[in-house]
Structure 1
Amino acid sequence: MAARIYQRPKNAMQSGKARTSEWVLEFEQSEAQRPDPLMGWTGSADTQSQVVLTFPSMEAAQAYAAKYGIPARVHATPPRHLKIQAYADNFR
């Protein structure tokens, strides 16, 4: 029951940065998903993949994983690159 810890990315559909400072502990899937023959939906019996825990810092998420013996990998957040330009630059 491995987990991964990462920082929430910025929503690509909005300009705001709400909830981007939160760190997320998410369990990896332990079994593959399979299609339901009647409805065609995909699913599995793995209920741990539905659990998503949020923490205020990376250290808090790592402490939680260590306390409960969960092997967790930390995924680093890529740096943000801002492209500063003026509106007039569109007409050069």
Structure 2
Amino acid sequence: MSLLRPSIAGRLLRAGAPSALRPVPGSTRFNTYTAVGTPLTTSDNTQSSALSKEEVKKSMTRHNQPDYTAEVDQASSTFSPIPKRVMNGSEEGDTLPAAVLSGAPIDLEARTVRIYKEAKPATQSGDWHSHHWRMDWDILEKGHRWENPLIGWQSSADFMQGTHISFKSKEDAIRFAEKQGYEYFVQEPNERKFVPKAYANNFLYSPTKLKHIRTK
């Protein structure tokens, strides 16, 4: 310390003094500040205003926070399907829908299913899948589908999109849809017509004008 100048040594001694021994004004002793400098607690010299709960809710900014005080909306929003009929046992017909007692969500009761027969693939694979009738759920639009920002694929929040059920006949699929209370439509398959062909038919005699086919 003898090698330092007296003025520098005095500044170092004042800076190295304990914080408890420094004089602190009484008004700022019990104040709390953030890193930015905004006071969190009010001191004695500031006027504290009591805010009601409604004013506090209005002052709070909600960006992506869920609103836990919102009322439960039973399939009446623009992102959920609305059932065409109420499954409470008062439906017409001899079949009582299983949705009355199954406890299934109302979003599932309002879905429309498609009953169709799968077509044979264009490759040389077998046609086993084209022998059965299949039932799948119609695609939901609006908020249930969006574009994946990473790869660009189509993403979906529909939990029934990749689900399908196979039946031996069309009547079994219709009976199952009516039993569950689903709205359904039947998509009939396109039947292919096979015309018998033979290479020898090119040389058959016909009394009409001679046929001349150019190949070049």
Report matched runs for 1:32-71 at 5 Å: 32=142, 33-71=145-183
DSSP-derived class of the 1:5 partner = strand
The count of corresponding residues between Structure 1 and Structure 2 is 92
Cα-to-partner distance string for 1:31-78 (whole Å, 9 max, x where unaligned) = 253211123221111121111111111011111101111111001122
Letter in 1 for 2:138: E
Query: Is 1:23 aligned to residue 150 of structure 2?
Result: no
Q: Percent identity?
A: 33
Q: Are 1:22 and 1:57, in contact at CA under 8 Å, matched by a contact in 2?
A: yes
Letter in 2 for 1:17: D
- Point out 4+ residue stretches in structure 1 off by more than 3 angstroms: 87-90
Structure 2 match to 1:7? 117
Structure 2 match to 1:85? 197
Gaps of 5+ in 1: none
Structure 1 or 2: more strand by fraction: 1
Q: Are 1:7 and 1:24, in contact at CA under 8 Å, matched by a contact in 2?
A: yes
Letter in 2 for 1:62: I
Quote the Cα distance in structure 1 between the aligned partners of 2:152 and 2:126: 36
Gaps of 5+ in 2: 1-110, 203-212
**Pairwise CA RMSD:** 2.3
Larger RCO, structures 1/2 (Cα 8 Å, 6+ apart): 1
Structure 1 match to 2:186? 74
Larger radius of gyration: 2
User: Aligned-pair distance for 1:89?
Assistant: 6.0
Letter in 2 for 1:69: G
Q: Are 1:31 and 1:44, in contact at CA under 8 Å, matched by a contact in 2?
A: no
Quote the Cα distance in structure 1 between the aligned partners of 2:151 and 2:125: 37
DSSP-derived class of the 2:131 partner = coil
Quote the Cα distance in structure 1 between the aligned partners of 2:201 and 2:171: 43
The normalised TM-score by structure 2 is 0.38
Letter in 1 for 2:115: I
Quote the Cα distance in structure 2 between the aligned partners of 1:84 and 1:47: 46
